[in-house]
Amino acid sequence: MELVGFRGGYPVPESAADSFDRVDARRAVEAYRFFYPVVSMEGILRGTRAVGAADNTVAPLLLPHPHHVGFTLGSDAPCLGAALDLGRSGPLVIEVPPGPLAGLVDDHYHRWLVDLGLSGRNGARGGRVLLLPPGHGRHVPDAERYEVVRSDTWHVLCVLRALPLDGDVARANALLASVRVYPLVRRDDPPRFVVVNRDDTAMDTTPLAWEENLEYWRVLHRVIDTEPPVGELRPMLGLLAELGIEAGRRFAPEARMERILTEAARQGRDELLMSAFASRRPDRMVWPDRAWEWAGLRPENGTFERPGSLDMEARDRWFAQAILASPAMFRREPGAGSLYWLGVRDGDGEYLDGGRTYRLRVPLPVPRTLFWSVTVYDAATRSEIAADQGQASLRSLFDDLEPAGAGHVDLYIGPAAPARTTGRWIQTVPGRGWFAYFRIYGPTGPAFDGAWRPGDFEAVDRAGRARLAPGNCAGG
């Protein structure tokens, strides 16, 4: 029902009940989108614990594969994810050994706290980070030994990757296993921090089970109810309170609000996916003559800030398809740790279809100091494609992607392997859309100045030739 006018300065709706429903529905959709990163982080923490992790003492280690369901996880390097509880431990030390490790710590609201390892203050030298819990104001003994970081939330997530130089995964795993986490009060006699291998264990660290139903709000309420209020979130916490989601208050929506919140979850999720995969922002495009897009839209920081405001579209876009945030993840400059490009459409502008076969031509050499990869993700789960092949990526460290003397290499993505692909094929599932990340680790100048560009995904016809659109040649 629409507002029919005013009487004596008061709004006169055709139906007061319908008007209030519209107000609450609008609030709920905005709250859903704003707090989606929080619920996503809770999914990571719960999924980590579900495979045997224990806060502060046990962390899983894995080289991600399709049975590890997680938003745009990559199979390039083994990773460790530690759920940490500062309320249980008090100040907590993370001790990172020297070597090719890179990582970060994000708080329960999915906000960046600190970079670790190669992307951190001490680089390859490693070092110690001291996490202080909310409200900690006491003296820190030997503070000069640590990089001191304050958290606004009790629960945080620490993630580290070990780069498997020369393809040596065992050595990378051993490096991750040497990471130490312990309470500051035990610094003279640190307890053991256990790293358990979960390469072969199915795992789900996503909010997919909740993201379009009422459970989304229950999960969010639990986080809000157990964490301290954060000043910068006060306006949005107030919005939640109007919907019955407030710290210290039981969440028990009546039938009307259940209906509104459930529908808002569906609509909010759909709007997030529009930002991720159907954005119209011109700054999403990497090159004017390619379909490749930037996965992250704000290269200058990891907090989605721009002069005078927060870039909500960039924030929505990132967290709809990915996890974690830090300045190092979005940096676009030679020598940066890694560079991500997003492929959603083919060279003709059509969404990528699991029932079709595509060719991706990659000019050689790829401008990198380390390695590169292409990973295929299911558009619905935003996780590695799960097909019978059991492989979602092609990686220069592990696969034959750089034939000697070749000026390019052709990769194929589709439901069946074309002839003569020599293993350079990723299987997709008919009836399911997909997207890809092209990652370069240690990117060099030509990856940024346009002198080098990968081709677009080009649909292959029955004659086995790619249908090249004008201007979509594979070279730079």
- Mean pLDDT value across residues 9-24: 73
Q: Tell me the pLDDT band of 428, cut-offs 50, 70 and 90.
A: very high
**Same domain assignment for residues 127 and 143:** yes
Question: In 314-449, at which residue ranges do the beta strands (DSSP E only) sit?
Answer: 338-343, 358-363, 368-378, 393-395, 408-414, 425-427, 434-443
**Same domain assignment for residues 408 and 302:** yes
**Same domain assignment for residues 187 and 308:** no
pLDDT tens string 51-65: 999 999 999 999 999
308: region left, alpha or beta (phi > 0 left; psi from -120 to 50 alpha): left
**Same domain assignment for residues 351 and 246:** no
pLDDT of residue 405: 93
**Same domain assignment for residues 178 and 245:** no
**Same domain assignment for residues 321 and 395:** yes
Whichever domain contains 243, its CATH number is 1.10.3360.10
Tell me, yes or no, whether 4 lies in a domain: no
Tell me, yes or no, whether 472 lies in a domain: no
> Which of 223, 255, 276 finishes a domain?
276
Tell me, yes or no, whether 331 lies in a domain: yes
Q: Does position 356 have pLDDT exceeding 90, yes or no?
A: yes
φ, ψ of residue 261 to 5 degrees: the values are: -70, -40
What three-state secondary structure class fits 272?
Answer: helix
Tell me, yes or no, whether 473 lies in a domain: no
Max CA pair span of the chain: 82
Buried b (16+ CB within 10 A) or exposed e, 325-363: bbbbbbbeeeebbbbbbbbbbbbeeeebbbebbbbbbbb
Tell me, yes or no, whether 466 lies in a domain: no
**Same domain assignment for residues 30 and 128:** no
Q: Tell me the pLDDT band of 16, cut-offs 50, 70 and 90.
A: low
Angstrom distance (rounded) from CA 374 to CA 357: 15
Tell me, yes or no, whether 432 lies in a domain: yes
Q: Does position 299 have pLDDT exceeding 80, yes or no?
A: no
Tell me, yes or no, whether 464 lies in a domain: no
Angstrom distance (rounded) from CA 207 to CA 182: 29
**Same domain assignment for residues 40 and 114:** no
Whichever domain contains 148, its CATH number is 2.60.40.1610
**Same domain assignment for residues 251 and 159:** no
pLDDT of residue 467: 45
The percent helix, strand, coil of the chain (3-state, each to 5) is 25, 30, 45
Give me the domain span that covers residue 346: 279-459
- Mean pLDDT value across residues 236-246: 96
User: What is the DSSP code (8-state) at residue 412?
Assistant: E
- Mean pLDDT value across residues 367-375: 95
pLDDT of residue 463: 40
Q: Which residue from 457, 458, 450 is spatially nearest to 475, judged by alpha carbons?
A: 450
Tell me which of 77-81, 121-125, 214-218, 297-301 is least confident: 297-301
**Same domain assignment for residues 85 and 181:** yes
pLDDT of residue 297: 86
> Which of 187, 204, 221 finishes a domain?
204
Q: Does position 192 have pLDDT exceeding 70, yes or no?
A: yes
Counting the structural domains of the chain, the total is 3
Whichever domain contains 283, its CATH number is 2.60.120.600
Q: Does position 1 have pLDDT exceeding 50, yes or no?
A: no
pLDDT of residue 8: 74
Q: Does position 472 have pLDDT exceeding 60, yes or no?
A: no
Look up the pTM and report it: 0.92
- Among 137-141, 146-150, 333-337, top mean pLDDT goes to 146-150
Q: Tell me the pLDDT band of 290, cut-offs 50, 70 and 90.
A: very high
pLDDT of residue 300: 74
Q: Tell me the pLDDT band of 422, cut-offs 50, 70 and 90.
A: confident
Tell me, yes or no, whether 6 lies in a domain: no
pLDDT of residue 470: 32
**Same domain assignment for residues 272 and 293:** no
pLDDT tens string 383-420: 999 999 999 999 999 999 999 999 999 999 999 998 87
Angstrom distance (rounded) from CA 230 to CA 134: 10
> Which of 183, 204, 225 finishes a domain?
204
**Same domain assignment for residues 144 and 75:** yes
